[in-house]
Structure 1
Amino acid sequence: METKVLRFTMFLLFLVLAADVAVKRTEARECWTSSRTFKGLCFSSSNCEAVCFTEGFSGGKCKGVRHKCYCSEICRN
C-alpha cells in the first residue's frame, strides 16, 4: 500500500515539474529611439534617463560613439 502511495506521489511530482518545463517563457523586447529633447553630448545615463522619463519613455541610456541619449520602451510588436 505504501509503495502505491509513493509511486502516485512521485508521478504527481513528475507531472508538475514536466508542466513547468513545458511552459514557454518570453521576455518583452526593448525598443530604443533617440531622445527628441536631450541637448548636447550624453555622458550621464542618469540625466538621459530623466529626460526620457519626461518624454514618456520607460528608461534611457547614453549609447554609441557619438554619445547620444537613447530612450527605451517595451516594443509593441
Structure 2
Amino acid sequence: MMEASQRKLSAAVVLLLLLIVAAEMGPVQAGECLSQSKTFKGWCFNSDRCNDKCLKESSAYSGGKCRGLYFLCFCITPCAASLE
C-alpha cells in the first residue's frame, strides 16, 4: 500500500518538473536574444520590474522578462540575423 503511494507521488513530482521545464522552453520571439541582467537582484517574479531594470541597465536593451527555473531576469536585445 505504501509503495503505491510513493510511486504516485514520484510520478506527480516528475510530471510537475516536466511541465515546468516545458513552459520555460517556450518560444522566444524571432530576432530576440536574452542575456541575464547584471543589476537585477533577487528572484524575478515580476517581468515589469525586470523590464524597468534592463531599460536602465543599458540603452542596447529593448526590455526584459523573468525566465528560467531559478526565476532570473533576462534582458532583451535584437539578434543579428543568421545566415543559413
> TM-score range with shorter-chain normalisation?
0.5 to 0.7
Q: Which residue of 2 aligns with 1:47?
A: 49
> Where in structure 2 are there 5+ consecutive unaligned residues?
1-28
Alignment of 1:8-27 (within 5 A): none
Whichever of the two has the greater Rg, that structure is: 1
Aligned residues: 51
Moved over 6 A (4+): none
| Equivalent residue letter for 2:74 | Y
**1:2-47 deviation line (CA, Å, top 9, x unaligned):** xxxxxxxxxxxxxxxxxxxxxxxxx961100000000000010000
* Percent of aligned pairs sharing the same letter: 45
User: CA, structure 1 residues 28+65, in 2 after alignment: closer, same or farther (shift >3 Å)?
Assistant: closer
Q: TM-score, normalization: structure 2?
A: 0.56
Deviation at 1:55, TM superposition (A): 1.4
Q: TM-score, normalization: structure 1?
A: 0.61
**1:32-67 deviation line (CA, Å, top 9, x unaligned):** 000000000001000000000011210100001100
